[in-house]
C-alpha cells in the first residue's frame, strides 16, 4: 500500500497533464532485436527513444533471462511517466578495456522526470577483473573504471526492487537530482572490493534511501557537497565503510550540506558506522549543518561514531592549517551495540571553526576486544548530553595533531 501511495504522489501531476492521451504503452526489447547471447545495448536504446517520445505512460521491459549489455546512455526528456522494468540479469563485460566509451559509466540515465526503475532484476558489473587492476589508492592518475548506474538530473523518480552487483567502481551515483527514492534497493559486493561505494550523492535535494541492504567494499552511502534533505532510513549496511558525509573541503567551489537524517539503520561488521570527514588545509569554506544520526544499531563495528576534521587518507594532504568547514546542529542519539575498537566515539572538530550545538544522548556501546578499556576522543567540541552515555563521551580532551 505504501508504494502505491508513493507512486501516486510522484506521478499524479504528470498524469493530469496527459489525461487525454492514449493508454499505457509497453516496449519489450525483444521486439527491437534483443537476443540472448548478443549485446542488447542498441535494442534498449531504440526502445528507450520511442518510449521517451510517447505522450502516454510507457514501460520498457527487459524480460527474464541473462542479457549482455556493453554500455548505454539513456537520455530524456520524457513526455510522460516512464518505467524501465528490468526482470532479468544484465551483465557487463568483465574486461573494463572493452567498454566502448572509456570515460563513461556502464549505464547512464540523464534528464528524466517521473521515472521508475523496477522489476526485481540484477545489474551485474562483473568487477572482479577490474578490482585487481585498481591502484587508485596509490596512483592519482589511475585508470577510470565505470560505475554500474549513473543517475544525473533525475527528478520525481523511484528506483525500487532491483539489485546492483559487483560494480567495477561505485555502484550508483546520483548527481544534481531532486525527489528521488531508492526503495528496497540492494547493493552486493565483497568487503574487499575497492572503491565500490554503494550510493554516492552530490548536489541533490530530497533523496530517500529506505528499506535497503548495502553490502560493499567502501562507503555504503557517501554524501557529497550541496546535498540537502537526505533521508536514510531502515538501511542495513555491511560489509563496508559505513555511511559518510564527505569527504568535504577538497575544492574551493564546494557548497553547503544541510539536513542529513540517518535513522533506524543497522551496521554489521563495518569499518565505520556514521562518519563526517573534512580535509584540513583545504580551500573550501562551506558549512555542514542539521545532521541527525539516531536509533542506530552497531554490530561489531570498528568506529561507530566519527567526526573527523583532520581527514587525510594516505597522507595526501598537509595538516598545517585546520579545516575551514563549520559543522553545527548535530544530534547523535540512541546508538547501541558492539565495537571491535577501543575508541568508540571520535569527535575531532576544527580548531579554526569548532563544532557547535552538538547533542549526544543515550549511547550504549560495548567493546568486544582486548586492547584496553573503551574510550572516546574529542577536540574542539563541547557537546550537550542527554540520557546515559556508555562509555562517557568526551570525558577527556584530545590535542590537535
- Spell out the residues 6+ positions from residue 282 whose beta carbon is closer than 8 angstroms to its own: 249, 250, 317, 323, 324, 325
Q: CA 233, CA 153: separation in Å to the nearest integer?
A: 23
Q: Are 398 and 378 in contact (CB under 8 A)?
A: yes
Our measurement of the distance from residue 63's CA atom to the centroid of its chain's CA atoms, rounded to an integer in Å, reads: 27
Joined together, the cell numbers standing for residue 158 give 523511484
Q: CA 232, CA 180: separation in Å to the nearest integer?
A: 12
**Which entry of 137, 241, 292, 314 is annotated as an active-site residue?**
241
User: Taking the C-alpha atoms of 117, 118, 122 and 124 in order, what is their torsion angle to the nearest 10 degrees?
Assistant: 0
Q: Indicate the pairing of strand 375-379 with strand 163-165.
A: unpaired
Q: CA 294, CA 305: separation in Å to the nearest integer?
A: 11
In 3D space, the residue among 339, 322, 333, 385 whose CA is nearest the CA of residue 395 turns out to be 385
In 3D space, the residue among 252, 200, 250, 209 whose CA is nearest the CA of residue 227 turns out to be 200
If you count them, how many residues does the chain have?
A: 401
Exposure of 172 by Cβ count < 10 A (0-12 exposed, 13-18 middle, 19+ buried)? buried
Q: CA 307, CA 246: separation in Å to the nearest integer?
A: 10
Separation in Å, CA 271 to CA 79, 160, 216, 243, 317: 44, 27, 11, 10, 22
Q: CA 162, CA 385: separation in Å to the nearest integer?
A: 41
- Spell out the residues 6+ positions from residue 232 whose beta carbon is closer than 8 angstroms to its own: 208, 209, 210, 221, 243, 260, 261, 262, 263, 265
Within 13 Å, how many C-alpha atoms sit on residue 58's CB side? 20
Told to judge if 137 belongs to the known catalytic residues of this protein, a careful annotator would answer: no
**Which residues are part of the catalytic machinery?**
241
Amino acid at each position: 500500500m505504501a508504494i502505491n501511495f508513493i507512486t501516486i504522489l510522484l506521478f499524479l501531476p504528470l498524469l493530469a497533464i496527459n489525461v487525454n492521451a492514449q493508454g499505457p504503452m509497453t516496449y519489450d526489447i525483444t521486439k527491437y532485436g534483443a537476443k540472448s547471447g548478443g549485446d542488447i545495448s542498441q535494442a534498449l536504446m531504440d526502445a528507450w527513444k520511442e518510449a521517451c517520445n510517447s505522450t502516454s505512460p510507457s514501460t520498457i521491459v527487459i524480460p527474464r533471462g541473462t542479457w549482455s549489455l556493453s554500455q548505454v546512455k539513456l537520455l530524456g526528456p520524457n513526455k510522460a511517466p516512464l518505467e524501465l522494468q528490468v526482470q532479468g540479469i544484465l551483465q557487463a563485460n568483465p574486461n573494463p578495456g572493452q567498454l566502448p566509451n572509456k570515460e563513461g559509466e556502464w549505464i547512464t540515465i540523464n534528464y528524466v522526470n517521473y521515472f521508475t526503475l523496477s522489476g526485481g532484476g540484477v545489474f551485474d558489473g562483473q568487477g572482479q577483473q577490474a578490482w585487481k587492476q585498481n591502484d587508485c589508492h596509490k596512483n592519482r592518475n589511475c585508470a577510470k573504471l565505470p560505475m554500474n548506474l549513473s543517475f544525473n538530473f533525475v527528478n520525481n523518480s523511484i528506483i525500487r526492487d532491483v539489485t546492483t552487483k559487483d560494480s567495477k567502481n561505485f555502484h550508483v551515483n546520483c548527481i544534481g537530482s531532486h525527489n528521488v527514492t531508492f526503495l528496497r534497493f540492494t547493493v552486493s559486493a565483497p568487503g574487499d572490493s575497492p572503491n565500490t561505494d554503494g550510493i554516492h550523492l552530490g548536489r541533490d535535494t530530497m533523496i530517500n534511501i529506505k528499506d535497503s541492504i548495502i553490502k560493499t567494499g567502501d562507503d555504503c552511502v557517501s554524501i557529497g557537497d550541496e546535498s540537502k534533505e537526505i533521508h536514510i532510513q531502515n538501511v542495513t549496511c555491511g560489509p563496508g565503510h559505513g555511511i559518510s558525509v564527505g569527504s568535504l573541503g577538497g575544492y574551493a567551489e564546494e557548497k553547503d550540506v544541510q539536513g542529513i537524517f540517518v535513522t533506524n539503520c543497522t551496521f554489521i561488521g563495518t569499518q565505520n558506522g556514521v562518519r563526517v570527514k573534512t580535509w584540513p588545509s583545504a580551500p573550501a569554506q562551506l558549512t555542514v549543518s542539521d545532521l541527525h544520526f539516531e536509533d542506530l544499531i552497531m554490530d561489531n563495528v570498528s568506529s561507530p561514531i566519527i567526526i573527523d576534521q583532520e581527514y587525510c587518507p594516505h597522507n595526501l594532504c598537509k595538516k598545517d592549517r585546520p579545516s575551514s568547514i563549520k559543522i553545527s546542529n548535530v544530534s547523535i542519539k540512541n546508538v547501541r551495540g558492539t565495537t571491535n575498537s577501543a575508541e568508540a566515539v571520535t569527535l575531532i572538530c576544527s580548531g579554526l571553526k569548532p563544532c557547535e550545538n552538538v547533542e549526544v544522548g543515550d549511547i550504549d556501546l560495548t567493546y568486544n576486544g582486548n586492547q584496553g578499556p573503551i574510550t572516546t576522543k574529542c577536540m574542539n567540541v563541547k557537546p550537550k548530553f542527554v540520557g546515559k552515555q556508555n562509555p562517557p563521551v568526551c570525558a577527556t580532551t584530545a590535542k590537535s595533531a
